[in-house]
Amino acid sequence: MIEPVQAPGPREHLTSDVTRAALRLQHHMLTATRDHLRRAGFVELLPPIMGPVTDPGVRGSKQVDVDYYGHRYKLMTSAILYKQASLLAFDRIFYVAPNIRLEPLETANTQRHLAEFHQIDVEVANVGRDEILEVAQGLVRSVVRHVIDAAADELDVLGRDTGAFTDLLGTPFGRISHSQAVSELHGLGHDQNPDAEIDWVGEATLSRKASTPFFITDYPKGSRGFYDRESTTEPGVLRNFDLIAPEGYGELCSGSEREHEYRAIVARMRETGENPAKYGWYLEMVRDGIPGSAGFGLGVERFTRYLAGLDSVWQTTAHPKIPGVVSR
C-alpha cells in the first residue's frame, strides 16, 4: 500500500514562492478564459453548489450528501445536468465551477486528483462534437498564448520553459479513438481493459509519448455517464472525448455531445445503474424538450499544473484537499 502524499501546512504552502507563482498564473488563466469565452459569445453563469442530484458518471468516487431541510441533496460532482438546463436561457454558457468528489483512496498518488477542484464548464446548444473540440482547442490555445506574455514572471519562478508550448500553439491537436489508444497500449505491453476508461497508468503512458495536447474520442458505452451521447451509426460508441496534456500530465478535460431525448436518457440511466426516480426535475424538463448540445469541463487545477510544469495538482490550489487526507 502506498501512503498518500501529504501537502504542507497552510502557512508553509501559502507563503511559498511556488504556490504564489502558481496561483498568480491561475489568476491569469482565468482572466484569459473569461475574455476568450466572452468574445466568443458565451454568458458566464454562477454555478450551482448543490441539488437533489448531481453528475453520477464519475468513476468510483462518492458524492457528498447534504441535509437539505430533511431531504438528501448532493454537492456538485459536476454541474452537467444544470448546464443542459441552462441552455433553456442561453445558447452558449460557461461556469467556473467548484466540484466535490470523494475519490477512491488510490487516487491520492496519481498527482492529479483532488477531492475539491474547479472546472471551466462549457456547454453549447445545437452543436456536435467537431464544433466543441474546436471550442476546447481554441480556449486552451488562447489561455496559453495569454499567459506566455502576461505571466512570464510566474513561469520563470516556476522554471517552466515556454518552448514546451510552441507545438501546442502551432499545430492542431491530434485525435485518436479510444480503440486506437487501447491497441497502442496493448502494443506497449499495458493490459488496458478495452471496455473501460483508459486507466491512470495507460493515460500517463500515452501522455508521456506526446509533445502536444491530443484528444481521445469515442469511448465505449459502460465507461461514462448517461448523458454522453451514443453514436447513432456505431452503437456502443459514445460521441465523447478527453483532452490529454503531453509530457505525462494526463487528462485535462472531458466532454461530449449530450443525450437530450427522453427515451434515450431513461434507457441510458438504467444502463448506468441509475434509478430514474431520483432525477424527477431533470426528466420532466427533458420530456418537455431541451436543446441538443455539446460541452466539456476543463480542470482548472490540472490545466494550471500543466502550464506551471508542477509535480502535483495540489500545488495549484490555495487550500488543497487530497483524497483521503483529513485535516485535524
Partner 1 sequence: MNRLRAEGFPEQAIRARARDGAAAAFPPVESYGTTVYGATGAVHRDPLDAIRLAPPIFTPNRMDKLLDLAREPTYGDVDLTTVIGGFTAPVPVYLSAFGSTRVAGPDIGLAISGQAGRLGVPVVIGENVVPVNGYGRLGAVGERSLLRRVRAYAEQLPDGLGGLVVQQSTEDADAEVWNLVYSDPSTRSLLDSGRLGFELKVGQGAKPGIGGMTVLDRADADRVGDQYSLDLVYGAESGRVLRCSSPGTFTPEILRQQIRLMRNNFPRAKTWVKLHPGRDVREAAAVAWQAGADAVTVDGAEGGTGWAPLAFLDHVGLPLGECLTQIDAGPHCLLASGGVWEGARAVKCLALGARAVGLGRAGLLAADEDTEHGLTRLIDCLAFELRLLISSLGEYAPGSVGIKDVWAPGLPVPTHTMPLAGIDTRRRQ
Which residues would be at the binding site for partner 1 (CB under 8 A)? 1, 59-63, 71-72, 102-106, 193, 195-197, 199, 220-223, 267, 270-275, 278, 323-324
- What are the residues whose beta carbons fall under 8 Å from the beta carbon of 248, sequence distance 6 or more? 204, 207, 208
85 or 196, CB closer to partner 1? 196
Shortest distance (Å) from residue 55 CB to partner 1: 12
SS3 304: helix
Give dist(CA 294, CA 255) in Å, integer: 7
CA distances 122 to 83, 87, 280, Å, are 8, 11, 24
Is residue 252 within 8 A of residue 243, CB to CB? The reply is yes
Eight-state DSSP code of residue 196: S
Is residue 233 within 8 A of residue 194, CB to CB? The reply is no
Q: CA dihedral in degrees (287, 293, 298, 300; nearest 10)?
A: -60
149 or 271, CB closer to partner 1? 271
**Alpha helices of the chain — where are they, by DSSP H?**
10-14, 17-39, 80-86, 129-150, 152-158, 166-170, 178-187, 200-209, 262-271, 280-288, 300-308
Shortest distance (Å) from residue 83 CB to partner 1: 22
Shortest distance (Å) from residue 66 CB to partner 1: 13
3 or 46, CB closer to partner 1? 3
Shortest distance (Å) from residue 81 CB to partner 1: 15
172 or 280, CB closer to partner 1? 280
72 or 208, CB closer to partner 1? 72
Shortest distance (Å) from residue 272 CB to partner 1: 6
Strands ordered across the beta sheet of 293-299: 43-44, 92-100, 116-125, 293-299, 250-257, 240-245, 214-217, 174-177
Shortest distance (Å) from residue 141 CB to partner 1: 31
Q: How far apart are the first and last CA of the chain?
A: 23
Shortest distance (Å) from residue 76 CB to partner 1: 15
Eight-state DSSP code of residue 197: P
39 or 328, CB closer to partner 1? 328
Shortest distance (Å) from residue 84 CB to partner 1: 21
48 or 324, CB closer to partner 1? 324
Give dist(CA 247, CA 211) in Å, integer: 6
19 or 192, CB closer to partner 1? 192
